[in-house]
Structure 1
Amino acid sequence: MTNTRNAAETIALQSLAWLVGNEELLGVFMGTTGASQEDMLTAAHDPEFLGSMLDFILMDDNWVIECCDANKLPYEKLYEARQSLPGGGNVHWT
């Protein structure tokens, strides 16, 4: 595992902690994914789950801003972290 991957997982875990602390958004996440709190605890060490959770936050600019502000991260860091986790590569349709 590279330092980039470790850094991405750290950012994703910080983002997960922010998500868990946001009751309203957590409900949306759990309703959308069907994940229970127990599922989230179990999956917190799974890079694929962390990537999917970042995909969810990245769906809304306001969520990105709130998450990054809470974690004192530059706004582009969530996207960069997502790119370093499984399934995060850029998709080119052409």
Structure 2
Amino acid sequence: MNTRGRLGHDGPLNRDHKLTERQTGALKKPVHNPREVAEIVAIQALGFIAGDPERLGLFLAETGIGPETLRNAASDPQFLASVLDFVMRDDATVTAFAKASELHPTNIAAAHQALGDPKWERDVP
């Protein structure tokens, strides 16, 4: 059976065709590292905080950073942990962020835990 005429090219597979980086962008491996996912959630939370001037003012006052240093601070994992600390301390804020980000509150809590201090392990002699 000749597929050349029906498919409109040199057969079902054209081996000379090279995919561009833009075309393969969707094929890149998804993020599975819990810490990386938690950082993404924290950055989303920072955007959520920044979207409400009153909430942003409170956050900036509590963290002691200024609006001009906010972008640079966002690359610090400890700062990202403080973002999720701020969101998690109030049920209404967690609920609002969960709704805005379409994340379940337990996912936000898991991200908070992943960015926080390592779980306590007792010292074993």
Task: Give the TM interval when normalised to the shorter protein.
Answer: 0.7 to 0.9
CA pair 78-27 structure 1, distance change in 2 beyond 3 A: same
Q: Which runs of 5+ in 1 are unaligned?
A: none
Residue number in structure 1 paired with 2:71: 41
Q: If each structure's helix is expressed as a fraction of its own residues, which one has the higher value?
A: 1
Residue number in structure 1 paired with 2:16: none
For the aligned residue pairs, the C-alpha RMSD in angstroms reads 2.0
TM-score normalised by structure 2 residue count? 0.66
CA pair 66-33 structure 1, distance change in 2 beyond 3 A: same
RCO comparison, higher one (Cα < 8 Å, 6+): 1
> Based on CA coordinates, which of the two structures has the bigger radius of gyration?
2
Q: Which runs of 5+ in 2 are unaligned?
A: 1-31, 121-125
Moved over 2 A (4+): 86-90
Deviation at 1:88, TM superposition (A): 5.9
TM-score normalised by structure 1 residue count? 0.86
Aligned length in residues: 91
Q: What aligned pairs does 1:1-94 form with structure 2 within 5 A after superposition? A: 3-87=33-117, 89=119
